[in-house]
Every structure is written in C-alpha cells, then in structure tokens.
Structure 1
Amino acid sequence: MFLFAFTAVELVLLVFLTPTFAIQDWIYVSGHLLVLWIAFTRRPPEALDRSFLSGIAVLVAYAYPYAQVMYLRWEPGNEAWPDVGLALVVLGACLSFASLLSLGRWFGVWPALRGLETRGPYRLVRHPMYLGYLFADVGYNLLEYNVVTLLLVVAGWASLFFRIRAEERMLALDEGWSRYVAAVRYRLLPGIW
C-alpha cells in the first residue's frame, strides 16, 4: 500500500507542478500509472532493507526532482543548452519507462529482493532506471539550472549511488546474481562503473 500511496502523491505533484505537458511529461505520467498497477499486483519481497539509511536515501531520491522544480519556481534559473537538455530528458524518460516495463511486478521503492531482472535494458547495465534518472537530471539542468538545483542533483545522485549498493546487497541473495554480475559488469555507466 505504501508504493501506491507514494506514487499517487508523486502523480499529483507531477500534474500540479507541470503547467503544460510535453512528451516527456506524458511518459512520466504513464510510468506512474504503471507503478499504481504494479502496487496492486506485486508479491511481497523475499528480503527487504528497511534500514534508517536506506529510508533516507529513498526519501532524498524521490524528493530532489520535485525540490528542483519548486525551487526554480521561486528562483528562476539559467538556460544552458535547451535542445540537448530536452533530448536528454526524453531519453531519460524513455529509458526509465522501458526499465519499469522490464521490472514489472518486481519494482519497489525500498531496496529488496523481489526477483532478478536480466532482460531488456537490464542486459546493458544493472541499474538502467537510475541511468535514465541521470540523463533526465542532466537534461533538466541544461534546460534550466542554478546553484541550488545543481546541489540538489548532487544530493540526489549520492542517494542513488547509496541505493545501488543497498539494492545489490539484497539482490546478491538471489542464486542467479553472480551469473548476472559476470554477464553485466557495469552497474550504471557502461565501461566506467
């Protein structure tokens, strides 16, 4: 029920904070609607990390994009490279949506073992949804940025890196994890990490 409530609040915030909807906004809305469906159809996890630090990381990871939007309404930013920014936002939205479709009922907010996804974008990197978030963050900041939005992105990325480690501790409990790690060597950035 937490996932449903969390996603419903996110969806309301997304609609409230978005004055006009562009293609990337519709992709994000579709993803949120998919998560609402997942919230009712998924099985409970085999293992779940409900530690305080994971809770903080989850909170920061979900809050920082909305904090950026709200701050930019209060203190407008500067444009850097809007055309490239929009392309990265759309790419990030599509990658996140494709990752969510691949995960399906295994998706969750907290680091947990619900299953091990190895298909779709998970054949390229172990955390493609987070890679989509990184693309979108860079894109949004190329569209409009200021010092505070950049600091929020740093905090958000720190939480994502923490979540990657926490999720991998949970996924390592799956018997297929070592084979998957051998086949897909990189967590987030192909050839780098």
Structure 2
Amino acid sequence: MRLHVFGISRRRFADFLLFGVTSAELFFLFLLTPAFSIVDWIYVSQNLLVLGISFMRRRPEAVDYSLPSSIAVFVSYAYPYAQVIYLRRTSGDLAWFEGGLVLVTFGACLSLATLLSLGRRFGVRPALRGLVTRGPYRFVRHPMYLSYMIADIGYNLQEWNFGTLMLVTAGWASLLYRIHAEERILSKDNGWPAYVASVRYRLLPGLW
C-alpha cells in the first residue's frame, strides 16, 4: 500500500523534505560563516542545485526506509555542523592550514562535479533512480562520500581537537553504512554487475 502523509505521497513528501533540509543548510551556512571564501560559494551553488533538483528528481524504483538508514542519513548530515558548533565553544589546534585548504577546496570541487553528474538521480536515502557511470563515477563508486571525507581531513588540518575527531569518526561510520545500504539497493539494477566489474573500488582506487 502506498503511504500518504496528510494526502501527500511518500515520494512527494520526501521531495518537500529535501527542499526544506537544503534550505535550512543554506540558512545555517550563511549564519555560521562570517566571511565567504571560494569554497563556501561552491557549497552554496551545490545547495542551490539541490533546491532545483528537489522537485525534478526521477521517481525511485526502490528506496530503503529502514530505521538504520534513517539514522545514518541524519548523522551524516548533522556531523559537519556539529563540528562547527563544537569548535565555537572549545579551542582547536592547527596542524597544517595550507594543506587543509587544498584538501577542502578539492573536496568541494569533487562534490560539485559529483552532484552535476548525478543530476535528477540525486537523493538522500539509499534509492534506485538509475545508475550513474559518468564523471567521477568512472573512477570510484561513491565519489560524493569521498569528497566529504577529503574535506573532513582538510577542515581538521585547519582546526581540530579530540571532540572533532570523535564527530568525524561517527560521521564516517554513517557514510560507510550508507555505502553498503546504497549498494544493496543499486544491485537491483540490471547494469550493476557490469558497473562493479568496471569500477572495482568504492572509495579509494587500489584500496577499497
């Protein structure tokens, strides 16, 4: 039976939710960023793209609505902002600012390139909207999550402490869970075996 929430289909509700969450992300980005750098504007452009994609996404053929996946999605969305808020209340240490800036910039560019490749197939929950094999997906199967991890390392090189490392650990655990959950859904696509044979690695070429 198709679930309806206040007369709105589950899919349409998810589109409204994505639009609302992305709008909130934009609000907090402007609220928590005293001065915008080129990296910040890249993230702004990504959020604007997601706002446009929200109501033009492909209808999913399969979606994982399980509680563990919901928790993983929430944690992976929340932990970057938790780090920002935490560092406003505690002091952090500098490791290598220039190296961190390079990694943050590269992560932002990779994230934008991945989003452009996904286009109308973009989603938050593990879902099947068709396989994407172009752009960064020619090299690894989950370039968006790789971009998040690269940026996390960069930000922590710029400012870190024990608390940020714990938050990143929780965030990465949620990303790894999402990878496995997404691959369970994507394996329903007929082209999945050929794609996996062509792109062997999930995150790091030659490693995993």
Q: Which bin holds the TM-score, normalised by the shorter protein?
A: over 0.9
Does residue 78 in structure 1 map to residue 97 in structure 2? no
> Residues 4-19 of structure 1 correspond to what in structure 2 (within 5 A)?
4-19=19-34
What does residue range 15-94 of structure 1 map to in structure 2 within 5 Å?
Answer: 15-94=30-109
Distance 1:152 1:93 in 2: 20
Task: Report how far residue 14 of structure 1 moved.
Answer: 1.1
Q: In structure 1, what is the equivalent of residue 175 of structure 2?
A: 160
TM-score (norm 2): 0.92
> Which residue does the alignment assign to 2:13?
none
What residue ranges of structure 2 are gaps of 5+ in the alignment? 1-15
Displacement of 1:76 in angstroms is 2.0
The structure whose Rg is larger is 2
Counterpart residue type for residue 73 of structure 1? R
Structure 1 unaligned regions, length at least 5: none
How far is 1:13 from its partner?
1.1
Partner deviation per Cα, 1:148-177 (whole Å, 9 max, x = no partner): 000000000000000000000110011100
Normalising by structure 1, we get a TM-score of: 0.99
Deviation at 1:118, TM superposition (A): 0.2
| Percent sequence identity over aligned pairs | 66
CA distance in 1, matches of 2:186, 2:26: 28
Coordinate RMSD, CA, aligned: 0.6
Match of 1:137 among 140, 152, 156: 152
Task: Give the match for residue 111 of structure 1.
Answer: 126
